[in-house]
């Protein structure tokens, strides 16, 4: 028999769950918690801001395919976590956020940092709870892990009052649940698979549209086999990019809009009809398009638009069954449809290529994006952050590997790029990690370069400095930031590598030197402040109201 504190019991359960890394910022009452985690062999990465810790855990999860864990002290430290938690919530990313809290025995006494953190966390988590006693600490962490990885993945939150963390109990009476439990994969019924293949066989212009559900189900190989078997063009939502390499002969990224408008049948796997794809509504999609939707969450089926067939099932199991049935009936997509999309894709890319290869100064942002593509390894992880920078990045930078693309997500949260990159590098130390980031976003979490220096997490941030918010001079107050700041010097002052680039031909050599430095690095590129991306206008799906 031995007496252990709540903090030690929590850390012990982390080990049981297979947790390898913890992102945190120290403070009361969790000062001992991270120390015990380290004692149990967990790498503890102390960040410079709690938002950075939460976003790093988010980026980590999207590469590792397992929940990211973040920890903060009580009061403002925990509220600082919540922007990152909310971002993971809308992104559908499994994460466990742990927040210290005022002691239970001091509740309702106006104690130090006493306010209801739990209620704050509930709207932006899949599940949130408060641990009242040390002897249930392990049990609650196990619940948080399981619920984060449920049919609808997302963040969970545990509120950890100081007296529960410091309370000492006899561990012989503590239940340590077996870790690493994953929910069973629900399988589709045979009739639904037959009907899905029938719809696709009858279609003249079928498409496959997949999302992050394919990644979380570890179904990349199954998706590719289905596409190769059925010969149907495919597209992925931003959160699912890279599950099938985007140089596949059935990937036509530049003709996405045409494909969506003209498709007469769409197999939708593991994604939602949200604002990113115009809720599935016309004119983005045809009114009469037949939709087959596969999701583990029944509430997503038919949400926002009518569907022909809904299947509550796991992506991996469903795609295997679809492939088997497609082989049985000899399903083959239309070659004419494939050729049309291919011609359109080629034409559109050729028009964009002129800007991507331009030698003009000031430098076009697409030239920066193109130099990143031409420099990094095939399995590199690209984190894109900003407004115009995000649009240029998603327009031009392909993804060739799972977890290879981390955009800011449906929350449109700026400042994710650096902590996402930090978490990605912690999850995949053998892969190159690049943050393609706007000058506005860069300073939001630049302090985490210090974290990456101290923990040997070398990433390369490539700044598209277009001089302000939404890219340049405007009569709107606060829009322009100018281009004279020396952001690369900030990174060097924090112990990293920095370089300023003013000419397009200098971009690639600078990126190569940044990688060769072996340090967290910044390549600061001064770009054309007037360039605008030719993608969906931000005002078309934002909360902004324009003056008439």
How high is the pLDDT of residue 173? 85
Mean pLDDT of 128-142: 97
Confidence of residue 535 (pLDDT cuts 50, 70, 90): low
Range of lowest pLDDT (31-35, 215-219, 406-410) = 406-410
> Positive or negative, the Cα torsion across 353, 356, 359, 361?
positive
**Distance in angstroms (rounded) separating the CA atoms of residues 129 and 152:** 18
**Range name among 183-187, 348-352, 444-448, 527-531 with the lowest pLDDT average:** 183-187
- Report angle CA 322, 326, 332 to the nearest 5 degrees: 130
- Give 514-531 pLDDT, tens digit per residue: 999 999 999 999 999 888
Pull the structure tokens for residue 318. 């469903």
pTM, entire model: 0.94
CATH fold of 3-173 reads: Rossmann fold (3.40.50)
Beta strand extents in 218-288 (DSSP E only): 234-236, 265-269
Confidence check: pLDDT of 112 > 80: no
In this chain, the answer to whether the domains covering 190-343 and 357-526 adopt an identical fold is yes
Q: Average pLDDT of 97-110?
A: 87
**Spacing of C-alpha 76 from chain mean position:** 25
Q: Could you check whether the bond before residue 7 is cis, i.e. omega within 30 degrees of 0?
A: no
Of the candidates 209, 220, 201, 193, which has an alpha carbon nearest to the alpha carbon of residue 402? 220
Domain ranges across the chain? 3-173, 190-343, 357-526
Q: Which residue has the higher pLDDT, 394 or 369?
A: 369
Residue 185 confidence (pLDDT): 84
Is 190-343 a CATH 3.20.20.10 domain?
no
* Measured CA distances, 65 to 56, 218, 318, 451, 498 (Å): 14, 8, 19, 23, 31
Instruction: List pLDDT tens digits, range 244-279.
Output: 999 999 999 999 999 999 999 999 999 999 888 889
Give 478's contacts (C-beta < 8 A, 6+ positions apart). 469
- Name the token pair of 149: 């990885």
Distances in Å between the Cα of 55 and the Cα atoms of 21, 219, 406, 440 are 14, 25, 11, 17
Tell me the C-alpha distance between 27 and 99, whole Å: 11
- Please write the tens of the pLDDT for every residue from 289-338: 999 999 999 999 999 999 999 999 999 999 999 999 999 999 999 999 99
Whole-angstrom CA distances from 180 to 143, 174, 320 are 11, 19, 24
Residue 505 burial by Cβ neighbours in a 10 Å radius (0-12, 13-18, 19+): exposed
Nearest by Cα to 71 from 91, 107, 93, 42: 42
Architecture of domain 357-526: 3-Layer(aba) Sandwich (3.40)
Instruction: Give the pair of three-digit tokens for residue 82.
Output: 């919540």
pLDDT, tens digit, 9 for 90 and up, residues 157-194: 999 999 999 999 998 889 999 998 777 789 999 999 99
Report pLDDT digits (tens) over 375-429.
Answer: 999 999 999 999 899 999 988 999 999 999 999 888 989 999 999 999 999 999 9
Q: How far apart are CA 323 and CA 534, in angstroms?
A: 36
**Strand-by-strand arrangement of the 309-312 sheet:** 234-236, 206-210, 265-269, 290-295, 309-312
């Amino acid at each position: 028999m031995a007496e252990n504190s709540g903090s030690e019991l929590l850390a012990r359960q982390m080990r049981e769950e297979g947790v390898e890394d913890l992102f945190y910022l120290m403070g009361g009452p969790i000062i001992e918690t991270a120390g015990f985690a380290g004692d149990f062999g967990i790498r503890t990465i102390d960040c410079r801001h709690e938002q950075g810790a939460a976003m790093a855990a988010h980026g980590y999860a999207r590469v590792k395919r397992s929940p990211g864990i973040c920890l903060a002290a009580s009061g403002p430290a925990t509220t600082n976590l919540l922007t990152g938690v909310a971002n993971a919530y809308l992104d559908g990313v499994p994460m466990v956020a742990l927040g210290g809290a005022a002691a239970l025995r001091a509740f309702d006494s106006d104690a130090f940092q006493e306010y209801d953190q739990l209620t704050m966390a509930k709207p932006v988590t899949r599940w949130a709870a408060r641990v009242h006693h040390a002897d249930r600490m392990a049990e609650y962490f196990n619940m948080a892990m399981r619920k984060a990885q449920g049919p609808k993945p997302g963040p969970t939150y545990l509120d950890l009052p100081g007296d529960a963390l410091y309370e000492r109990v006899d561990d012989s009476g503590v239940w340590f649940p077996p870790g690493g439990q994953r929910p069973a994969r629900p399988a589709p019924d045979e009739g639904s698979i037959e009907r899905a293949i029938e719809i696709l066989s009858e279609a003249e212009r079928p498409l496959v549209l997949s999302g992050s559900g394919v990644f979380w189900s570890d179904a990349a190989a199954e998706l590719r086999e289905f596409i190769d078997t059925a010969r149907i063009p495919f597209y992925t939502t931003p959160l699912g990019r890279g599950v099938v390499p985007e140089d596949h002969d059935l990937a036509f990224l530049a003709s996405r809009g045409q494909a969506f408008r003209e498709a007469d049948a769409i197999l939708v796997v593991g994604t939602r009809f949200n604002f990113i794809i115009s809720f599935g509504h016309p004119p983005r999609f045809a009114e009469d398009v037949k939709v087959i939707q596969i999701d583990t969450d029944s509430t997503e089926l038919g949400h926002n638009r009518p569907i022909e067939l809904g299947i509550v099932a796991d992506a991996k199991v469903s795609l295997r069954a679809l492939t088997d049935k497609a082989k049985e009936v000899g399903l083959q997509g239309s070659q004419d449809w494939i050729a049309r999309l291919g011609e359109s894709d080629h034409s559109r890319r050729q028009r964009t290529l002129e800007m991507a290869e331009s030698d003009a100064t000031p430098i076009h942002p697409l030239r920066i994006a193109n130099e990143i593509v031409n420099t990094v390894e095939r399995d590199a992880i690209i984190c894109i952050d900003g407004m115009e920078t995000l649009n240029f990045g998603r327009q031009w930078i392909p993804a060739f590997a799972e977890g290879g693309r981390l955009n800011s997500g449906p929350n449109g949260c700026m400042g994710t790029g650096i902590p996402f990159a930090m978490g990605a590098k912690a999850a995949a130390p053998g892969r190159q990690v690049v943050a393609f980031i706007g000058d506005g976003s860069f300073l939001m979490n630049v302090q985490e370069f210090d974290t990456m220096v101290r923990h040997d997490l070398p990433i390369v941030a490539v700044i598209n400095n277009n001089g302000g918010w939404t890219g340049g001079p405007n009569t709107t107050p606060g829009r322009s930031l100018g281009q004279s700041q020396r952001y690369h010097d900030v990174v060097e002052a924090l112990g990293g590598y920095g370089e300023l680039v003013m000419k397009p031909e200098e971009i690639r050599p600078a990126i190569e030197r940044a990688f060769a430095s072996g340090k967290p690095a910044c390549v600061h590129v001064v770009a054309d402040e007037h360039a605008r991306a030719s993608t969906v206008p931000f005002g078309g799906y934002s909360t902004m109201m324009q003056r008439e």
